[in-house]
Structure 1
Amino acid sequence: MSVPYDASHVVSVEPLRRGPVGLVVSRIATMCLVELQKLRHDRTELVTRAIQPALWLLIFGETFTRLRVIPTGNVPYLDYLAPGILAQSALFVAIFYGIQIIWERDAGVLAKLLVTPTPRVAMVSGKAFAAGIRALAQALVVLVLAAVLGVAMTTNPLRLLGVCVAVVLGSACFCCLSITIAGLVLSRDRLMGIGQAITMPLFFGSNALYPVDLMPGWLQVVNLVNPLSYEVDALRGLLIGTPADLSLDFGVLAVAAVTMICIASALLGRLAR
């Protein structure tokens, strides 16, 4: 016997709708997962990228520790240098991230992404924090090497979490700087040239290698407006316990990251033209 159909008992199920914030968060998480997949499939990149910071620590750090020509107080120079090299390695990972954007433009991937409902700020934020994830993997290699060389670093979990936040914020800022440059020059070759031209001034114009007091006046001004200096200061204070204004450091890094994300998002559409 057939049972009569009663439509009044049918419950309609609405698809789950995310708000703007939920959409941004989900896209950022997706980009970070994609980046982790890339790292899993290409582990050799971590090894090759670790060569340069290893040379800085092994040769530059060990030599200047013995020479004692850079006054760092009671802190051994190698200990003083290690956080700066950590920040440098993260900078080198992030500053050429715009090349990937140009490759996606040339392959037609970017145009497809831009016609989806995903906000541009979500795309850029996802790539920025994906660069942070990649930089964290690089930072782990540097920290292990520094520990092997005898650098006295903290093991406090909260301080190490702060190190991760500083590295991610710094990498997000410089990744978006790279995307901004890509949106202006629209060429991988030009981006490579500009990236190489600004990387070393950012590094040498920070407190990564020497205290601010040793810098000439004009370089101290550069150091004051250089986001890398605040990242190094935060890393140094968290890792080896030197005096640091962490609230200022994290505030500057957060503002710099948000500002660069907004600028890069505004220029993203120019790449797809």
Structure 2
Amino acid sequence: MELSDVGMQPPGQVMSDLLRLTGSVRRALPSSNRRQYLFRTAFSAANHAAPRRPGQQQQQQDRSPESRLCLLTADLHRRQSLAIMLAAVSSLSFPLPTLAESSDAGELRLFSSQKQGYTMQIPATWEQKSKSGADVLFVGKGADVGVTVSPIRINSLREFGTVEAVGDRLLGAEKAKESTESAAMLSTSSREGAQGTPIYTYDYKVDTTRGKKRIVSTVAIKDRKLYICNGTVKCTAPGLDCDPAGGPGVVEAVEAVSQSFDVL
């Protein structure tokens, strides 16, 4: 199906074709029923239409077929981009290091990728490792931080919505996973980077059938690139309270990395 065909199909068929168009994205992620289900959930959230203002319905009816087609195509791009971002943020996880590995949350060192265009501060004793799908991965005692960079069709996070609106969709996608037993958002924040780029951060806890985690995800979009800095802390006990397996200072270390993340 070509994008130009979208405006000539019934709504149900459009949604079906949206899912088919993102097949290549799903294949790029680890193939599991859980993540395919997450994609369907993300699309459902993205497909929720905002209430129309008075007169907007008549204005849309007065548009020419060519204008309506352009609007539908643009909306298709936005929905695809939102689904990709939600799936990437809530599916991004790396194997946590064992407790035998050393970590020190005190001293930080600068890491910068000129190729991909981002920078952040990393605990000096954390070890850099290779991981499929990650641009870079650092692991410490009971925690890790990984960064992914991928192309996207929009130019700014603000095109998705407010930090709260995107956070609600992200948490909903986490709760929809088959392995999730409970999830709670601790905090959301937004800031601008040194170049004025909007950056959203989400701090939340997830209790799963495979264990409990605290996740700090920082997201930015610049030059049609989606940046996700994802920090994961392993917890020792079930429930929403997180006792870091890596000991005191681990959560603070991950938060420091998140706060230092910026795009160039």
Structure with a larger share of its residues in helix: 1
Pairwise same-fold verdict (TM > 0.5): no
Report the TM-score, using the length of structure 1 for normalisation: 0.29
TM-score between both structures, scaled by the size of structure 2? 0.29
Which of structures 1 and 2 has the larger relative contact order (alpha carbons within 8 angstroms, sep 6+)? Answer: 1
